[in-house]
Structure 1
């Protein structure tokens, strides 16, 4: 029987062909991203995010017009992502790395043998450790540099260099005599830093009159001031009717001042307007205590003009990057309260009974006093001259009040003295 032979034929390689993507150039597409190194396409040579780390793409410049169409690969973008410990984002190298080059991403289809190329922007990513944000490297003083240089010279220098170092040591100034000056400069630097980061309204440090220290429209922007109407308050027949119109009706401080103003034959309209705004701030404070629900806030402040509600939301809440939900941080909370208390000082002729406000806001009097002190107030009993100026009886002198004096004096920052 003849042997059966089988021949193995090689499968022909269908070959590879190339094509450009037929998607519109303005459509979102792939992005090339990597860490900084000699090869810009290398993936994260140091800190590397996990594969599950989400990245988002943000446009850094607004369109000049709705009809403007810019290819996706040429659109000014920012790529950002984060893990629990590290932030990743486009670095300044991105623009330099892309100059004079064009990058394409190829996708190969095994079935058709076609590799399709599509233009893609290049982004060089950098990273920042969240726990180290805000920390500045310790500055190296001239004295430290000289000491390090002297130590190197003593160890490795020639005899001539070592003699020069010893001569310099003999002529060195006694720095202990300068410790007082150094402490003064340290205090001055700490004060300047504290002044630039105070969570209070904009102020005039050179004001000679308390009414000029915190100008009214630094707390109530002019558009919001113009939008407030007090005509219904002026037309109301009694205190109960006026209180019913307020955004926040459970404030003894506001209700007492409102009754006192309308006891006068000619009520001060400016003060009434300030009281209505403070009432809106108190209602906003209560409505945002746990979470920010814009619909709920608008319902609770339905009697307040929309421009005022929007202004409070924009100035005293913030929206984290990559989120659509606003939130109120402790800094936002402090700013809201100090703006409110600066307005209270205007109403009280710059001597406010803080205990009543503490009860209205369900806060500890000590915390309220600290916030008034941050505005430059001193919490003391009124002197006889203060009582006379404010038209108050002698009995009012037993109550401690937050009193604003000029020129402004803020609490001194705590600094560590050098041992």
Structure 2
């Protein structure tokens, strides 16, 4: 126990250094605002870099006269594995920490002055691992792939035998895109370059070769694309010119079926004064009649030997007969057969000849009636040939005295030049 006579010691106060130097007052000096980079406060919430990591301040407002704390600025630095960057001052100064400011103050004991720097921004720093940079930008398809992998795992465990077989088949048919990267250059180099053509869509091989540059409808499908010169020269139309009545003219044609429209065109051509045009158009009529007879005999053509073909085509020259057989039929066991594809080709030739004989404007209903075909099929063929299939205008209907329903039932196929073919429709995969 301590003695009561012992005196209690009072703690001694430490004198300030400023007082000892003779300065009783402290002077506070606020420095002028700076527009350039200077001291800065940074806060590292998680990972703290080493002290020798360099940092740089960047600003969006280059050449601005505003205080650095009011500018759009960021601070960034990096090490070998990690990159640091601020997140609070790069989005219009309205994010977390943008309204908070710390001011550094430096006290000079020799002068008794405190210097405050107002242009000192505060940065909240975050970090990113460089190796994980690619995974941050991974496509959203990864989620779908992950979901599909989980679904396949469930199918392998609880699925039926059919479901398991389908899952294995999908795995076998899966293409490894990464493995193809190494051979991509070789594959691309082996593919020849094709010139891009932004012009009109060209015709297919089932129709005569058209002239897509001419502005004359009569030259869109020239004679050379329909028939060879030798076949054309073999056609004799003297009997058509010398016939006195429709019955005699009908017997002079290969196709003996009585067609009023064709008879009317023959009478019109015989009335022309120009002998060259008259002979040319009558040859077109004879060629049209020959192809219509071939189409009518298409079913029995495969049953007739080659030596007996001429009996099925009375009045047709041998050169013309050989030409149409080679053009519209295929040899099969010493006979000829017209396939479905060649049927389409034959119909295209017949429709083009109807255009030549009809002045490049034909009633589709008349053609369908002559050929005993569906009207929609005939109209579709004329469209594939580049024709416009429309009904008569109101003025034409009024002139003819027909109704709208009658005009719709008798649409016209008109060939314009330059010819424009319809775009091919592409059909997607069937929905299952």
TM-score, normalised via structure 1 length? 0.50
TM-score by length of 2: 0.48
Larger-gyration structure (1/2): 2
